[in-house]
Amino acid sequence: MIKSDWSPKRLIELRYENALSRLYSRLFQFAGSIRDPEEFADHLREASDAGWLDEFAQAAASRMVTGLRVDGARTWRLAAQKSMRGQEIYRALQNEMISPVGVRVYDLIRNNAQLIKSVPLTLADDVTRHTMQQSQNGLRASEIEKDLREWLQDLTRGKIRLISRTEVSKASTSLTRARSEEIGAGWYIWRSSEDGRVRLSHRFMDQNGGVLCSWDDAPAPEALAKIQSTLGHYGPGECPNCRCYPEPLLRLSQIQWPHRVHTAGVIRMMARAEFVRIAGFEVAA
């Protein structure tokens, strides 16, 4: 199946990943040639109050969220051409920055900027924990200092990928939800990236055309797929390292009926007429 346009573009994630890479590089430069773990952690904590970090965090967060907003608006305009609600969607897009969608945009920028600003403190805590663990394992201080930066660089590579993928997916889903709610589109289809890295639980949510879910009733994918997990209830793109995304249900002809529908904690096949009765709003054909 061809991947739909509702997924966040990989380019936006790569740009955010590159911004985080520049941040980590600058933090290492800020700490200079220090090898002593405690002193290194202290310098990282000092960086959390640096003026340049505020500016960097705000710019990186704004670029990411604005990129998602602009790219998502393009997808919504294409969807409007196929929907009987086209004019309503166009009007909502034109006025969204003075609507609850605009509030969501500013919230996402602020929250991501705060996350970026927390990176030095998080990294300092990582250094402290690593040092304590290595000491408990019997390593001498000189041995810990010798491999400190190499260990940090390996750690941050994974962190950068995890943060960029997770935050871009979460922000994309949040914007899609805000736009959906603005026009009263309360349901979406769970979609995955459809490759070998998809979690089994998310593959379960995406199989046979995807599960129809309500924004107000988040599923628990692992429980539904009979897989033990502590993740609980969440939407596509809202758990760590998830590349799933929601496709808003704007017309009933988007899917084949009967269809899998999540409601009240279970998934069951539902005929079109039954879904229309329980949906809570009228969906254009």
Mean pLDDT of all residues belonging to the chain: 91
The DSSP symbol for 96 reads G
CB atoms near residue 56 (< 10 Å): 18
The pLDDT, as a whole number, for residue 281 is: 55
Contacts of 85 (CB under 8 A, 6+ apart): 183, 250, 251, 284
Cα distance between residue 173 and residue 167, in whole Å: 10
Contacts of 277 (CB under 8 A, 6+ apart): none
The pLDDT, as a whole number, for residue 1 is: 37
Q: Where in the chain are the domains?
A: 1-185, 186-285
- Percentage of the chain beyond pLDDT 70 is 96
Chain centroid to CA 42 = 31
Say whether the peptide bond before residue 236 is cis (omega within 30 degrees of 0): no
Residue 59 scores a pLDDT above 50: yes
Average pLDDT value for residue range 210-217: 96
Q: Which residue has the higher pLDDT, 17 or 36?
A: 17
Indicate the SS3 state at residue 246: strand
The pLDDT, as a whole number, for residue 99 is: 96
CB atoms near residue 165 (< 10 Å): 20
Cα distance between residue 179 and residue 247, in whole Å: 12
Q: What amino acid is encoded at 261 in this protein?
A: V
Which residues on adjacent β-strands are paired with residue 215?
Answer: none
pTM for the whole thing?
0.91
Average pLDDT value for residue range 41-61: 92
Q: How confident is the model at residue 100 (pLDDT cuts 50, 70, 90)?
A: very high
User: Residues 230-282: pLDDT tens digits?
Assistant: 999 999 999 999 999 999 999 999 999 999 999 999 999 999 999 999 886 55
Cα distance between residue 236 and residue 220, in whole Å: 11
